[in-house]
């Protein structure tokens, strides 16, 4: 099929490449000329495992091309996916629909004949109805343009896998329409994917819009729930990781997304729960989502808790201390530092007078742009040079598998703060380190540790076991 994807950021570029991978003839459009030039050259403007390969494959097969000209979209196809960003408003918690509106305004007047716009961006409930009105005003007399919504659930780090093998597809159409073309189109677009048994849930606009924000609100709530429990564990010296393992065995609860630590960040969960609560207030249901404020507050408290824990570990005062922060991205396998708990902790430590040196395997350039005043190093070892404490803030595999011997010769004091509860406390303590974990002690028994032993015989904490099975963390 001939398809266009409007907006070639994280979501759009991945979607365009994956559609080409499914055999479609795809044109990606973005107003950012620099981004388009890079994509045309097969250069992905952000780090996402596997994406560069399929973009290059799409480009060389001729099935994937990019342009900055919306008029080309009208010439290329009659099915247009919308993947532009919906960031948090600058002066509020609501979603900023500026990019969505701008894309519609640029595209719709250029269309003639029958067209279908399928939105993928995360939008507040009621957006489709508003956009349909906008489209009706903008469309020429010889154009018939339908709006449908199929929210995207992809996780950074697993974007390609999530696009080609999603847990489910959702399609929302105008509830008043009796002859929507969208279900047949989506079945054709995703034929190969649907043939593998992945469910397609067909519904109305509002339900589809809500599915996405409800999913993210649930995930954020699950993380904040375990982090709230970890606040109790800290006081009574209980082990929140063992607790999560234990409650996670209950099929109704499940172990995924129960890793306590620095909490959630990134370009989705924080802004989505805020926009959802803001929308609830607008429609007169603020009470219904009042708890999301608490979810947000619990999450933010983890960052200051990590700073306090670090201060305590270095004797109470951060002023003049050298602190190494390992990890800056909001999660491993990503170079995204938007609302990153790791970078926020690094900045707060600096605010209290510590000399902070950050290392991240992929997010150094982005971090320097956001926090230019922090120190940066080219390796974990370099960041730890004369450190009074080492804070592990993102559970990159290279930090999880790091051996104390690597850091012993360079640090000033053997103090390690495990912000993601991802290290092996026994190993660090045996090597003479003062190991402290955010969220209370790691007391787990030998039996519990055995259950998490990897093939090399090294004891791995729950987070790593989770990473190994891929689906748990993300
Ligand atoms: C999320 C949703 O998972 C995805 O479906 C949606 O489309 C976009 O938002 P993403 O932002 O890529 O995806 O990150 P995710 O893997 O969900 O992790 C979010 C944050 O939660 C990360 O900062 C991660 O470190 C944190 N997290 C995750 C925890 O603190 N504990 C956990 O148990 C799991």
Mind giving me the DSSP string for 427-463? HHHHTT-EEEETTS-----HHHHHHTB-TTS-B--HH
Q: What sign does the dihedral 93-94-99-100 (CA atoms) show?
A: positive
Question: Distance, CA 267 to ligand 1 centroid (Å)?
Answer: 10
Is CATH 1.20.210.10 what the domain over 2-198 is classified as, yes or no?
Answer: no
Average pLDDT for residues 338-364, to the nearest whole number? 98
Q: Is the CB of 343 under 6 A from ligand 1?
A: no
Encode pLDDT of 223-263 as tens digits. 999 999 999 999 999 999 999 999 999 999 999 999 999 99
Q: Is the CB of 404 under 6 A from ligand 1?
A: no
Average pLDDT for residues 420-425, to the nearest whole number? 97
Average pLDDT for residues 394-404, to the nearest whole number? 97
Q: Is the CB of 261 under 6 A from ligand 1?
A: yes
| Atom 32, ligand 1: residue with shortest CA distance | 257
The residue among 124, 104, 150 whose CA lies nearest residue 11 is: 150
Report the pLDDT value the prediction gives residue 81, as an integer from 0 to 100: 98
> Are the folds of 2-198 and 214-456 the same?
yes
Name the CATH architecture for the domain at 214-456.
Answer: 3-Layer(aba) Sandwich (3.40)
Question: Distance, CA 257 to ligand 1 centroid (Å)?
Answer: 8
Say if pTM beats, i.e. exceeds, 0.75: yes
Give the strand pairing for 64-67 and 415-418.
Answer: unpaired
Strand boundaries in 53-195, DSSP class E: 64-67, 79-82, 113-119, 143-149, 169-173
Pocket-testing residue among 240, 299, 439, 474, ligand 1, by greatest number of atoms within 8 A of Cβ: 474
Encode pLDDT of 446-474 as tens digits. 455 545 444 333 344 444 444 343 333 33
Question: Distance, CA 220 to ligand 1 centroid (Å)?
Answer: 8
Q: Is the CB of 263 under 6 A from ligand 1?
A: yes
Whether the predicted pLDDT of 383 surpasses 60 = yes
Our measurement of the distance from residue 398's CA atom to the centroid of its chain's CA atoms, rounded to an integer in Å, reads 20
Q: Is the CB of 10 under 6 A from ligand 1?
A: no
Band of pLDDT at residue 443, cut at 50, 70 and 90: confident
Question: Distance, CA 155 to ligand 1 centroid (Å)?
Answer: 7
Pocket-testing residue among 95, 257, 264, 345, ligand 1, by greatest number of atoms within 8 A of Cβ: 264
Residues 6 or more apart in contact with residue 317 via CB below 8 angstroms: 311
Ligand 1: nearest atom to the Cα of 473:
34
Active-site annotation holds for 268: yes
The catalytic position among 128, 233, 268, 384 is 268
Question: Distance between CA 332 and CA 394 in Å, rounded?
Answer: 6
Ligand 1: nearest atom to the Cα of 331:
25
Ligand 1: nearest atom to the Cα of 466:
33
Encode pLDDT of 177-211 as tens digits. 999 999 999 999 999 999 999 999 999 999 999 99
CA atoms within 13 A on the CB side of 461: 32
Both tokens of 88, joined, read 């948090």
Kindly state the percentage of the chain with pLDDT values over 90. 92
Both tokens of 380, joined, read 């974990």
212 with 169: CB under 8 angstroms? no
Residue the block writes with tokens 């004949």: 113
Question: Distance, CA 263 to ligand 1 centroid (Å)?
Answer: 9
Q: Is the CB of 145 under 6 A from ligand 1?
A: no
Encode pLDDT of 103-160 as tens digits. 999 999 999 999 999 999 999 999 999 999 999 999 999 999 999 999 999 999 999 9
The residue among 429, 262, 328 whose CA lies nearest residue 47 is: 328
Whether the predicted pLDDT of 286 surpasses 70 = yes
Residues 6 or more apart in contact with residue 195 via CB below 8 angstroms: none
Question: Distance between CA 421 and CA 258 in Å, rounded?
Answer: 12
Residue the block writes with tokens 């979603």: 95
- The more confident residue out of 220 and 452 is 220
325 with 358: CB under 8 angstroms? yes
Q: Is the CB of 258 under 6 A from ligand 1?
A: yes
Band of pLDDT at residue 444, cut at 50, 70 and 90: low
CB-neighbour burial class of residue 179 (10 A; exposed 0-12, middle 13-18, buried 19+): exposed
CB-neighbour burial class of residue 63 (10 A; exposed 0-12, middle 13-18, buried 19+): middle
Chain mean pLDDT for the chain = 93
Q: How do the domains of the chain map onto residue ranges? A: 2-198, 214-456
């Amino acid at each position: 099929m001939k398809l266009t994807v409007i907006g070639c950021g994280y979501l759009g570029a991945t979607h365009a490449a994956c559609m080409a991978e499914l055999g479609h003839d795809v044109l990606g459009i973005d107003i950012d000329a620099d981004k388009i030039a890079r994509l045309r050259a097969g250069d992905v403007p952000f780090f996402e495992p596997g994406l560069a390969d399929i973009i290059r494959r799409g480009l060389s097969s001729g099935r994937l091309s990019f342009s900055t000209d919306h008029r080309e979209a009208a010439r290329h196809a009659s099915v247009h996916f919308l993947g532009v960003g919906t960031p948090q408003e600058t002066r509020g918690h609501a979603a900023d629909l500026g990019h969505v509106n701008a894309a519609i305004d640029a595209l719709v007047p250029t269309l003639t004949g029958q067209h279908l716009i399928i939105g993928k961006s995360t939008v507040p409930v009621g957006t489709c109805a508003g956009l349909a009105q906008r489209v009706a005003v903008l469309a020429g007399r010889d154009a018939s343009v339908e709006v449908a919504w199929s929210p995207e659930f992809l996780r950074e780090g697993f974007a390609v896998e999530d696009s080609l093998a999603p847990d489910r597809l959702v399609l929302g159409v105008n509830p008043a329409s009796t002859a929507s073309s969208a279900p047949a189109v989506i079945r054709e677009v995703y034929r190969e994917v649907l043939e593998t048994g992945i469910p397609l849930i067909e519904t109305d606009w509002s339900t589809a819009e809500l599915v996405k924000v409800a999913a993210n609100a649930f995930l954020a709530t699950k993380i904040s729930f375990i982090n709230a429990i970890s606040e109790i564990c800290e006081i009574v010296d209980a082990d929140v990781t063992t607790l999560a393992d234990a409650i996670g065995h209950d099929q109704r609860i499940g172990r995924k997304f129960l890793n306590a630590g620095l909490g959630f960040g990134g370009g989705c969960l924080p802004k989505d729960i805020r926009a959802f609560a803001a929308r609830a207030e607008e429609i007169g249901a603020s009470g219904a989502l009042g708890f999301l404020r608490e979810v947000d507050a619990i999450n933010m408290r983890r960052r200051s808790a990590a700073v306090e824990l670090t201060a305590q570990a270095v004797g109470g005062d951060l002023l003049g201390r050298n602190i190494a922060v390992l990890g800056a991205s909001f999660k491993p396998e990503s170079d995204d530092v938007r609302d990153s708990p790791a970078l926020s902790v690094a900045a707060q430590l600096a605010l209290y007078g510590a000399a902070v040196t950050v290392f991240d395997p992929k997010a150094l350039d982005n971090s320097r742009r956001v926090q230019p005043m922090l120190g940066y190093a080219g390796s974990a070892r370099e960041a730890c040079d004369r450190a009074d404490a080492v804070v592990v803030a993102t559970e990159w595999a290279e930090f999880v598998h790091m051996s104390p011997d690597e850091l012993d010769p360079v640090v000033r004091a053997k103090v390690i703060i495990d912000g993601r509860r991802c290290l092996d406390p026994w190993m660090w303590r045996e090597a003479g380190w003062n190991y402290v974990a955010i969220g209370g002690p790691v007391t787990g028994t030998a039996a519990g540790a055995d259950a998490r032993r990897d093939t090399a015989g090294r004891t791995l904490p729950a987070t790593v076991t989770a990473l190994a099975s891929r689906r748990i963390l993300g």
